[in-house]
Amino acid sequence: MTEKEKQQAGELYNSNDRQLLAERVAAKKLCAEYNVIPYNDYQKKERLLDRLIALRGENTWIEANFFCDYGYNIVMGNNFYSNHNLVILDCAEVVFGDNVFIGPNCGFYAAGHPEDFATRNQGLEYAKPIKVGSNVWIGGNVCVMPGVTIGDNTVIGAGSVVTEDIPSGVVAAGNPCKVIRPVKVSDTPAPAPSSENAEKPVQPVEKKTVQVKKREIRIEEIKK
């Protein structure tokens, strides 16, 4: 198996492998380019995200700065918003559902390292996928650890370190993050978003047509 195949299979792999290093360099160059695009150049931001991220839905907005390892392991649903300084270490797949809102300075870390220092010092690491459901709000300064799943309709409090799965429909917070209570459901319908009260800028959205093909190519490579 190649080191990339080991990585995608969740086995220990050498992150300094030449192929993986080249792919990280390519992704980080795109991140650097994204982070200096003028704020209101919406179309350029859209085009660059199409090159960087494997699959994303409509209405994606990521405030600069944004950093990731590979990009091709990231899937974002419709209406994805992240505030400044989002970090996604996508050594394994990191999937977000629809209507996900993320506060500033949040990290999603699919990468992990062995506890045994002798193994760790060899440059070996592992990766476990992260999944975030739909209608999830994640407060600022949250860290999500390898292998975690966060259910639909859930709120993660600011400053949390999410080390284990969090179910749907709850408010959870803390280090380590624990369920506090069920989400309070309002009887009053939420107001329709407008340009005056929207939480993120309004920008033109282009039809996405190439990401699925890009993702199929990656999966075929893994199967070889």
Which domains does the chain show, CATH number per domain?
3-223 (2.160.10.10)
Q: Could you say which of 24, 28, 84, 113 is catalytic? A: 113
Q: Residue 193's pLDDT is what?
A: 54
What's the confidence (pLDDT) of residue 192?
58
66 near 45, Cβ under 8 Å?
no
Predicted confidence at residue 212, as pLDDT, reads 35
Per-residue pLDDT, 191: 61
Mean pLDDT by 10 residues, the chain (224 residues): 96 96 98 97 96 96 98 98 98 98 98 95 96 98 98 98 98 98 76 51 42 38 36
**Nearest to residue 136, comparing CAs of 80, 93, 92, 189?**
80
Note the pLDDT of residue 185: 84
113 is catalytic: yes
Instruction: Give the model's pLDDT for residue 216.
Output: 39
